[in-house]
Amino acid sequence: MKILAGTGASKAIDGREAGREAAMAALAALSGQSPALVVIFTTPRYDLAELLAGIRSVTGDAPVIGATSSGEMIQGEYMGFGAGVGVLALTGGSHRFGIASVANVRDDLDKAAQELARASKAQAGPSPHSAIMLLADCLCGDLQRLVQGVYRITGPKTPIVGGAASDEQKFVQTFVLHNDKIVESGAAALWIASEKPLPVVTRHGWKPYGAPMLVTRAEGVEIMEIGGRPAAAVYEEQLDMEPGTLTPGNFWGAALRHPFGLLQPDGSTIIRVPREKTEQGGLRIQGCVPPSGSAVQVMAGNADMLLEIAGEVASTAIAAHPEAGAIIAFSCAARATIFGPRASEEAGLLQAAAGGVPTFGTYCCGEFARTHGVLGTHNATLTAIAL
Amino acid sequence: MSAPSDVKENGRPVQGVEGDVERLRIARDAAIQAAQAAMRDTTRLTRLLTILSEPAPLPILLDRVLSALSELFLADVVVLLDPDGTGSYVPLAAIGLPEDLIEEPMSDAEDGYAVSVMRTRLPVLTSAADSDPKIDSQLSELGIETAVWVPVLGANAARGVLILARCNPAPFANSDVDLLTAMGGRIGMALDQAQRGAQLERLARSGRSIGMHLDEEAVCFEAARILPEMLNADATALFMLDEGGVLRRAAHSGLSPEWSETWRSLAKCLLALPAPACIRTFATSNLPTAFEGFGLEPPQACPVRSLVAVPIQREMLTQGILFAMRFSSTSFTPDALQVAELYAAQVSAALENARLYRAAREELSVRVRAEQALRASDERCRALIRSVSDVITILNVDGLILYSSPAAMKAWGSAAEAIEGKSLFDRVHKEDAQAVRELFSLALSKPRAVFNGEARLLQGDASWRNFEVILVNLLEEPAVGGIVATHHDVTERKTFERKLTKLAFRDPLTGLANRAFFRDRLRQALIRSDSEGMSVGVVFFDLDNFKIVNDSLGHAWGDKVLCTVADRLRACMRKDDTAARLGGDEFTLLVERVEGLAQVMPIVHRLNAALHDPIHLGDRDFFIGGSIGIAISAPNEDNADELLRRADIAMYHAKSSGKGCYAVFDELLNAAAIERLEMENDLRRAIEAGEFIIHYQPVVSMESGRIVEVEALVRWVHPRKGLVPPPEFIPVAEETRLIIPLGRWVLREACRQIASWRDRDGDLRLSVNLSTRQFRSEELLADVAGALRDNILEPSALRLEMTESGLIGDPAMAGDKLKALKQLGVRLAIDDFGVGYSSLSHLKHFQVDALKIDRSFVQGVDKDEHNKAIARSIVALASTFGLHVIGEGVETREQAEQLRTLGCDLMQGYLFSPPLPSADMESLLEKKLGERRT
């Protein structure tokens, strides 16, 4: 049985009002059926408790999962920073859903992730196929630990997809949402039990720019040395800059367009964005740091290159699951920044390629997609699941 | 070289500057791609070595390693089985196995991949896992399509298996398997180390748990309860002889009592063995054979598949047997047996204490007096209870013994009456006397307080035993009127502690330091050196041919090799340096307080020479050899793990440079590693793409002036680099085993060519070089026979050439192989003769037909008397054994003349012709034939 999906958005100033308005619009597409799942991506500017109350006043007891974001994609429309809230309402079709959340996960992300996966799986019940959608506070630590914890429970048969909540790139506080709870420093997981495989598609569009290099020292969230030399100096050299050119003021502008590609055994790259240059000449990385001994390469990309893959993500997902009723997409806030005035194009390209299947997405701060091996965290990447 | 018009856009050539730019872009992209691939491959080794060198508790370490393996090899599932350590095939650690599958044991079927890898220590690769019936159900369930099993090597044998699997059809490459196999060895060492540490902790705990019981039955119960955890066993049983000499089951756990009689019968047989067998540990993983060996009926339907039986002894007599049993076929490792023996010693000591306690209960009068005196406090009550199995004395203020309990007879070898009136201090070892007097003074100063210390006391007239001495001042107690001293014999405990310490810091096989101790010493040495502005050298080596000995002769001989190497290492080191065996065949040497490499190299040279001396095993000499890596610390810059890792990388580099080499770590090694990997990848591709050709160099008879033979020499026409010299690719091909398919191709192609030339010149012969690995390969005989048969070539037309050093690694095997080749009818030559051992006995033993004088002697033969003398002796040797002699690398008429004068008739070299492509060689042969006809 095909899933029915409806999306709604609101830019209302009051949280409760915005929630109610967006939810009502989403439900309108369900032909009178009750939603089995509600997904929310919202600007963090709302009073989130009020927002949830507004949505749930319309969707009733339907389980809710969501996160704050840095822009939303709603059926081809892009909502920029501070604009409002997007709601996706879904009937179950032949799917069953289970949601769990854990707050204050910072101490042991791995263990918390296992709890999440275990609890959401138990709620959804057994099924021949499944996928898990993971949302997490982007500031709670090494998010790869979270993906790895989930993977311990799912194994390779259950794809992992999702993204880290964002706060319009302020990096101060982000939230995930679960039913009527605003989860602090935590994570939420949606287990989707299905009769058919649920494909996850991931692309980034970045191209290699510099020479391949070896990370020789990395600790915590920082790369200290590349090729035995201070990482920032090597990075500047790769960008043909004089030593010391990059400063706290101009770093982000350069790094945004030149992330690192972590070289994979199959020749592909996983993107890692440097966020800051440290006083000691290291590079602080967003999310998950390439460990010592990793091979990396400076990448380059512009709006054209990064937008080129958007349509392919949606069309590949639909091709793999022709009966899909919705596509949920996770793009990166850094991508939106690069797109600049063309930021609405990614949402448009996704929807155009998805045809009549509604697309719903968020600009997040680190994307989750595990397809091969244990590594499942990305930056500046677009990933999507077709339900 | 491409012309500008080769670059096309939309099918049309791009001309001019645009074309140049496009070409440069293509070249740049190709270079970047090659560098990417090389960098990726290099980083795998570096990353894994980094993780393994960082200290971490075992579960965390394994999680990191398995995660990294999953990431670096794109494996969806990584499983580590450690049957030697865990006693079962339940995964010890896993990534990608969902939690409901992780507790299930993987298959331990005899024909299953895991058991097969354990047995053969060779990796297994499957690329059709979805239809492979041998795949474990857990993996099938996850939709695995391709997988690899690699052995995890422990100290001497495979202790576990590492499984990597993918849910997609991309197979694991051979280079992946090689690297994984190397990592398997490293993981094995980490497991060895961790397991030993955990066992020591458990031993220390078990000693306390068993020792706190003062009742024999309780000791037996506790001993049986704890043992399964100690040895990863599933069941245990303890049988003890009672006072009437009847063997009774004293305790058991994990197994139905219905099997009691089975084990009792086995225990009886073990007890009945003549000394010393009856006091040795017995272990088997083949129960039917073991039972039949004792004339017992093998138990039917009993779940036990492997067991260890340790004697419980008292005063050198076996009083009982303690069994630990496993329901899997996993045998108990030598380490486990050692732990079992230490544990049995603990049980024996606890039982002895319990017996003494029982006996002491009868010494009522002493105890009643002491009880009355000591009842005042709990502490004193505890001292009393302890004392019942100890010697109790009452001393006056001068330390004279007023009273002694009868236990003195047993403990000190003197009757109570004989020591009363004598000073306790007379029994104390002179080194401990001061401490005991101080303790005694303290006791005198504080009535009723309890003081304790340790001292050696005289037993009999000459031997010393360790005692814990507890003093209580009861001078004011009318019933006592003295200092009550209890003397508790702790000699066994002390011995045990010493053994534990040794086990914790020493490699039990060689007596060298183990990894933990070495690291600790290295850290301390770095701190000392840093403060003095000096450096520390780390020499890291492994044995080149150890695996051959271990595999062909068995672990017992392998152990002898390791002990011999350890002895030689000791002989090479300076007095204050530290030598260690890190595990397997890996050794390290810490050279302290040096100013630089110059002070380390003499030691390295001594070591290198020592490693290359043959090792005599049984009636054979083995050439083991080693590859040595050296790293020198920079003052105040390096840490222990980094230094060890560098020496390790240098050792890898030395190994890749050829066996028996050494290398000093420098930053260039990383670059060299990349180059080498690139070479390896290129080689694999080149073999598939057929990029090799053969050049032929004529061998000329000086007497007839004819070309009598051609030597086939392989050349690689690299698509980018052009002609690659053999010294650049042959060592890599040798190390990666690619030499086997390459050598096979050379043999077949050269035979095909010579067969065609012999149609015109029926006397022309061929010589082909065999590399060491090719010579040792099991396929060689079939390859040679096949090449001859398929090309209808007379065997005598083919001469196979081997280096002397390639033959003597295992002279017995070489002799057999050469004999078999002779039986095929081919001729044999030793190449580069004179460079290596030039051993007469080898010449005699190997029955070759010809010797080739190495070019290094030929090139100086007309000028250098030394070279001339060597060439002369080789010709004389050859003449003695009736062998042909061929001079290689002849470049001048003078050299040719000298060789001819010495009696060498056959020669090859640039004087006659360089190696030629087959078409040119064919023209030369035609020309020579034409000359002969005219």
Tens of pLDDT, residue by residue over B744-777, are 999 999 999 999 999 888 889 999 999 888 888 8
Residue of B nearest to A270 (CA): B71
Residues 162-201 in B contacting A (C-alpha not used; CB under 8 Å): 166-168, 170
C-alpha B836/C-alpha B151 separation (Å) is 35
Among the partner residues A151, A267, A293, nearest to B96 by beta-carbon distance: A151
Contact assessment for residue B825 and residue B793, using Cβ atoms and an 8 Å cutoff: no
Plot region of A386 (φ>0 → left; ψ -120 to 50 → alpha; else → beta): beta
The pairing of beta strand B827-833 with beta strand B798-803 = parallel
Distance from the Cα of residue B313 to its chain's centroid: 34
For B512, the 3-state DSSP assignment is coil
Decide if A148 touches B, using CB distance below 8 A.
yes
The answer, yes or no, to whether residue B1 has pLDDT greater than 60, is: no
Residues of B in contact with A153 (CB under 8 A): 98-99
Confidence of residue B364 (pLDDT cuts 50, 70, 90): very low
Contact assessment for residue B83 and residue B160, using Cβ atoms and an 8 Å cutoff: yes
Chains A, B: CB contacts within 8 A come to 102
Question: Does the CA dihedral B82-B83-B85-B91 come out positive or negative?
Answer: positive
Contact assessment for residue A285 and residue A378, using Cβ atoms and an 8 Å cutoff: no
Decide if A170 touches B, using CB distance below 8 A.
no
Min Cα–Cα distance to chain A from B532, Å: 26
**Cβ–Cβ gap B96/A265 under 8 Å:** no
C-alpha A68/C-alpha A75 separation (Å) is 18
**The tokens of B535 are what?**
């450096």
Decide if A151 touches B, using CB distance below 8 A.
yes
Decide if A228 touches B, using CB distance below 8 A.
yes
C-alpha B839/C-alpha B848 separation (Å) is 13
CA dihedral B124, B128, B132, B134 (to 10 degrees): 20
**The tokens of B27 are what?**
């070249």
Among the partner residues A153, A212, A292, nearest to B35 by beta-carbon distance: A212
**Cβ–Cβ gap B95/A263 under 8 Å:** no
Give the pLDDT confidence of B811-863 residue by residue, as tens digits: 778 888 888 999 999 999 988 776 555 555 566 677 788 888 888 778 877 77
**Cβ–Cβ gap B39/A292 under 8 Å:** no
Decide if A220 touches B, using CB distance below 8 A.
no
Residue of A nearest to B76 (CA): A373
Give A205-221 as a DSSP string: --EE-S--EEEEEEETT
Give the pLDDT confidence of A214-223 residue by residue, as tens digits: 888 888 789 9
Decide if A267 touches B, using CB distance below 8 A.
yes
Residue B494 has what pLDDT? 74
Cβ count within 10 A of residue A220: 11
C-alpha B689/C-alpha B609 separation (Å) is 42
Residues of B in contact with A372 (CB under 8 A): 74, 76, 166-168
Min Cα–Cα distance to chain B from A279, Å: 21
Contact assessment for residue B459 and residue B489, using Cβ atoms and an 8 Å cutoff: no
Residues of A in contact with B68 (CB under 8 A): 291
Among the partner residues B76, B98, B670, nearest to A153 by beta-carbon distance: B98
Min Cα–Cα distance to chain B from A260, Å: 13
The answer, yes or no, to whether residue B385 has pLDDT greater than 70, is: no
The answer, yes or no, to whether residue A303 has pLDDT greater than 80, is: yes
State percent of chain B over pLDDT 90: 24
Number of DSSP helices (H) and strands (E) in chain A, helices first: 10, 27
Phi then psi dihedrals of residue B45, to 5 deg: -65, -50
Give the pLDDT confidence of B106-120 residue by residue, as tens digits: 988 888 899 989 888
C-alpha A293/C-alpha A376 separation (Å) is 19
Residue B274 has what pLDDT? 76
Contact assessment for residue B44 and residue B110, using Cβ atoms and an 8 Å cutoff: no
The answer, yes or no, to whether residue B373 has pLDDT greater than 70, is: no
Report which secondary-structure segment, H or E, holds B240. Answer: strand B235-241
- Interaxial angle between packed helices B334-360 and B491-505, expressed in degrees from 0 to 180 and rounded to the nearest 10: 170
Chain mean pLDDT for chain A: 93
- When pLDDT is averaged across residues A182-209 and rounded to a whole number, the result is 94
Confidence of residue A376 (pLDDT cuts 50, 70, 90): very high
- Strands (DSSP E) contained in B836-901 are 850-853, 884-887
The answer, yes or no, to whether residue A296 has pLDDT greater than 60, is: yes
Q: Which long-range contacts (CB under 8 A, 24 or more apart) does B364-369 make?
A: B366/B392, B366/B405, B369/B479, B369/B480
Residues 21-60 in B contacting A (C-alpha not used; CB under 8 Å): 32-33, 35-40, 42-44, 46-51
Which residues 6+ apart lie within 8 Å of B316 measured at CB?
Answer: B279
More confident residue, B929 or A344: A344
Min Cα–Cα distance to chain A from B524, Å: 24
C-alpha B120/C-alpha B150 separation (Å) is 10
The answer, yes or no, to whether residue A133 has pLDDT greater than 90, is: yes
- When pLDDT is averaged across residues A87-101 and rounded to a whole number, the result is 95
Residue of A nearest to B71 (CA): A373
Residues of B in contact with A293 (CB under 8 A): 43-44, 46-51
C-alpha B874/C-alpha B835 separation (Å) is 11
The answer, yes or no, to whether residue B293 has pLDDT greater than 50, is: yes
- Select from A108, A153, A270, A374 the residue whose CB has the most chain B CBs within 10 Å, as the one to mutate to test that interface: A374
Residue B80 has what pLDDT? 95
**Cβ–Cβ gap A212/B142 under 8 Å:** no
Give the pLDDT confidence of B514-534 residue by residue, as tens digits: 887 898 889 889 988 888 888
Residue B32 has what pLDDT? 63
**Cβ–Cβ gap B43/A214 under 8 Å:** yes
Decide if B145 touches A, using CB distance below 8 A.
no
**The tokens of A58 are what?**
């319309």
Give the pLDDT confidence of B202-250 residue by residue, as tens digits: 776 777 677 667 678 888 998 998 888 888 899 999 999 887 888 888 8
Min Cα–Cα distance to chain B from A372, Å: 6
**Cβ–Cβ gap A213/B39 under 8 Å:** yes
Min Cα–Cα distance to chain B from A214, Å: 7
Among the partner residues A155, A214, A291, nearest to B96 by beta-carbon distance: A155
Decide if A356 touches B, using CB distance below 8 A.
no
Among the partner residues B42, B74, B101, nearest to A265 by beta-carbon distance: B74
C-alpha A133/C-alpha A124 separation (Å) is 13
Decide if A120 touches B, using CB distance below 8 A.
no
Decide if A126 touches B, using CB distance below 8 A.
no
Give the pLDDT confidence of A308-340 residue by residue, as tens digits: 999 999 999 999 999 999 999 999 999 999 999
Which residues 6+ apart lie within 8 Å of B368 measured at CB?
Answer: none
Contact assessment for residue B470 and residue B520, using Cβ atoms and an 8 Å cutoff: no
- Mean pLDDT lowest among B35-44, B199-208, B497-506: B35-44
Give B320-381 as a DSSP string: EEEEEEESSSPPPPHHHHHHHHHHHHHHHHHHHHHHHHHHHTT-HHHHHHHHHHHTT-HHHH
Task: List the beta bridge partners of residue A362.
Answer: A72, A330
Min Cα–Cα distance to chain A from B51, Å: 9
**Cβ–Cβ gap B76/A156 under 8 Å:** yes
- When pLDDT is averaged across residues B383-393 and rounded to a whole number, the result is 58
Task: List the beta bridge partners of residue B662.
Answer: B628
CA angle A43, A44, A49 (to 5 degrees): 110
Residue B70 has what pLDDT? 93
Helices within chain A (DSSP H only): 15-27, 48-59, 109-124, 143-154, 231-238, 251-257, 303-307, 310-320, 333-339, 344-354
Decide if B75 touches A, using CB distance below 8 A.
yes
C-alpha B764/C-alpha B750 separation (Å) is 13
Smallest CA-to-CA distance from B76 within A242, A148, A239, A9 is with A148
C-alpha A137/C-alpha A140 separation (Å) is 6
For A136, the 3-state DSSP assignment is strand
Confidence of residue B181 (pLDDT cuts 50, 70, 90): confident
Task: List the beta bridge partners of residue B535.
Answer: B594
**Cβ–Cβ gap A294/B70 under 8 Å:** no
3 state SS for B123-179:
CEEECCHHHCCCCCHHHHHCCCCEEEEEEEECCCCEEEEEEEEECCCCCCCHHHHHH
The answer, yes or no, to whether residue B361 has pLDDT greater than 60, is: no
- When pLDDT is averaged across residues B875-880 and rounded to a whole number, the result is 76
Chain mean pLDDT for chain B: 82
**Cβ–Cβ gap B39/A295 under 8 Å:** yes
Which residues 6+ apart lie within 8 Å of B131 measured at CB?
Answer: none
- When pLDDT is averaged across residues B878-898 and rounded to a whole number, the result is 86
Confidence of residue B809 (pLDDT cuts 50, 70, 90): low
Decide if A254 touches B, using CB distance below 8 A.
no
- Mean pLDDT lowest among A1-10, B43-52, B581-590: B43-52
Give the pLDDT confidence of B389-406 residue by residue, as tens digits: 578 888 999 999 988 877
Residue B731 has what pLDDT? 80
Cβ count within 10 A of residue B822: 16
The most confident of the ranges B3-12, B660-669, B798-807 is: B798-807
Smallest CA-to-CA distance from B700 within B843, B923, B835, B899 is with B899
Cα dist. B68→A290, B59, B281 in Å?
11, 14, 41
Distance from the Cα of residue A272 to its chain's centroid: 14
The answer, yes or no, to whether residue A5 has pLDDT greater than 90, is: yes
**Cβ–Cβ gap B73/A211 under 8 Å:** no
Plot region of B910 (φ>0 → left; ψ -120 to 50 → alpha; else → beta): alpha
The answer, yes or no, to whether residue B200 has pLDDT greater than 80, is: no
The pairing of beta strand B620-622 with beta strand B615-617 = antiparallel
Decide if B137 touches A, using CB distance below 8 A.
no
More confident residue, B406 or B897: B897
C-alpha B541/C-alpha B543 separation (Å) is 7
Phi then psi dihedrals of residue A75, to 5 deg: 45, 50
**Cβ–Cβ gap B96/A267 under 8 Å:** no
Among the partner residues A264, A293, A375, nearest to B46 by beta-carbon distance: A293
Cα dist. B925→A80, B585, B697 in Å?
83, 52, 11
Write down the ipTM of this complex.
0.89
Report which secondary-structure segment, H or E, holds B280. Answer: none
Query: Which strands form A96-102's sheet, in the order they lie side by side?
Result: A96-102, A187-194, A129-137, A160-165, A367-370, A377-378
**Cβ–Cβ gap B77/A148 under 8 Å:** no
**Cβ–Cβ gap B42/A295 under 8 Å:** yes
**Cβ–Cβ gap A375/B143 under 8 Å:** no
**The tokens of B754 are what?**
């010579």
Residues 219-238 in B contacting A (C-alpha not used; CB under 8 Å): none
Residue A98 has what pLDDT? 97
Give the pLDDT confidence of A39-49 residue by residue, as tens digits: 999 999 999 99
- Select from B28, B32, B43 the residue whose CB has the most chain A CBs within 10 Å, as the one to mutate to test that interface: B43
